[in-house]
Chain A
Amino acid sequence: MAEVVLLDFWGSPFGMRARIALAEKGVKYEYKEEHLLTGKKTPLLLETNPVHKKIPVLIHNGKPISESLVIVQYIEDAWSDTAPLLPADPYGRSQARFWADFVDKKIYDQGKKIWANKAGEVQEAGKKELIESLKLLEGELGEKPFFGGETIGYVDVALVPFYTWFYSFETIGNFSIQAECPKLIEWVKRCLERESVSKSLVDPEKVYVDLILVLKKMYGYE
């Protein structure tokens, strides 16, 4: 097995976090695709993440790490001499961790209310909540080019992958995130100028057609 292996799924924002972090640190790794849409999980996934059986899993010298933010923090700790994702001061670190945790607590679930439901109360609630969350994040970004300051950091890594699902939310929910949060979309564009991000994120239209619509059909969310 290669020294660094990433078990991942192409459309997963959580997997994209790990991809960006590894790219920022210049770490060479073997990418292994879990074909989640087939409904089958590989023996390697079940062995390396027996508790959750979920991707991403980072395997470094045979030792597995699961949970995307735990993985990103591990990458930060293990390759600490290059491209730090967290600031040096404890207070700055605590704030970065807080906002990454906020992304984790809110964005996926709020987005799911939109894409996994027909037009109606739940979907409307999802739209309202998602926009509120994104506006809070816009506020936190302020006038900085990135959440990490002059370069991308922990919060940028935690949040930017969800951009790939925005097109799906907007198309299904019939609303515009750009219209509500223009500064955030400008921030996304700046992130995409970095190779670590542009090479790690997938095409939002592909997410809509090949993932979200497929999931909707698979689970009967129509």
Chain B
Amino acid sequence: MASNNGDVKLIGAWASPYVMRPRIALNVKSVEYEFLQEQFGSKSELLLKSNPVHKKIPVLLHNGKPICESSIIVEYIDEVWSSGPSILPSDPYDRAVARFWAAYLDEKWFPNVRAAPMAATEEAKNAAVEQLKEGLALLEGAYGEISKGEDFFGGEKIGFLDIAFGSMLGWLRAVQVILGGVKLLDEEKTPDLCKWAGKFSADPAVKDVLPETEKLLEFSKILMAKMKPASSS
């Protein structure tokens, strides 16, 4: 449908937390877009042409121009559709804090979410789980400081850090199951984050794009089968 938003397409995949971020951001801004799903296991011509450097999803195509890297796409969406609800905080220090934690999640924390179920040894698995729990304890503290009594990191409504972190909730929940019911988000240790996770998941901009844990569990079986080499017997 033609609109004065221009032509908006997003190359992605339903299960990717990184893809979820721009989807949530576009929903916050009420911008309609065409979702071009990549087939698992192959990369389309369009993806390779639009992101030749990294060849990864998500890629936003706005009037044909590509923008890559999920956090960068979210900032772009916030700046272009500036009349909609704002995603980054307006205060420079608050922006720095949000960006800091988003970088922490991407570089330090989420890699352990992926590593834990794939760990080769019990020891490695436990180490990854410990790192995850330590990270969540840090984030529980950060939530207390940043939300200042409101529901979200962004205050009354979801913002940049809610989106960065919340997009990982699907996989966090799935990995808890895969690890045999390990409590990462813990009512006792991270009560505020548990409440926040519930509110985030129910947010109108989020609920249709956050995949169900069941679907991720099914998908993870396919992923793990592809990643583990066939054992010789």
Contact = CB atoms under 8 A, between A and B. Distances in A.
Contacts, number: 56
B4 to A, nearest CB: 15
A contacts with B: majority SS: helix
Interface string A59-99: 01001011100110110011000000000001101110110
Interface in A144-194: none
Interface stretch (B25-33, B35-43, B71-79, B121-129): B71-79
B72 A101 contact: yes
B119 interface: no
Contacts of B104: 51
Contacts of B65: 91
Contact of B75 (A66, A74, A97): A97
A14 to B, nearest CB: 13
Contacts of A98: 67-69, 72
A93 B78 CA distance: 12
Contacts of B230: none
B72 A94 contact: yes
Contacts of A101: 69, 72
| Contact-size category for B | 20 to 34
A71 B76 CA distance: 19
A122 B82 CA distance: 47
A94 B104 CA distance: 20
A144 B32 CA distance: 36
Given A51-B138, A102-B53, A90 B80 contact: yes
A101 B75 CA distance: 14
B92 A77 contact: yes
Given A63-B93, A74-B92, A74-B93, A94 B75 contact: yes
B137 to A, nearest CB: 11
B72 A97 contact: yes
A93 B96 contact: no
B182 interface: no
Which of A65, A66, A73, A90 has its CB near the most chain B CB atoms (within 10 A)?
Answer: A90
Contact of A65 (B53, B62, B79, B93): B93
A131 to B, nearest CB: 15
Given A65-B100, A93-B79, A78 B92 contact: yes
B96 A70 contact: yes
A44 interface: no
Contacts of A73: 95-96, 99
Contacts of A66: 100
B135 to A, nearest CB: 9
B15 to A, nearest CB: 23
Given A63-B93, A93-B79, 6 more contacts: A60-B93, A73-B99, A78-B93, A91-B67, A93-B75, A101-B72
Interface of A: 51, 60, 63, 65-67, 70-71, 73-74, 77-78, 90-91, 93-95, 97-98, 101-102, 136
Interface of B: 53, 62, 65, 67-69, 72-73, 75-76, 79-80, 92-93, 95-97, 99-100, 103-104, 138
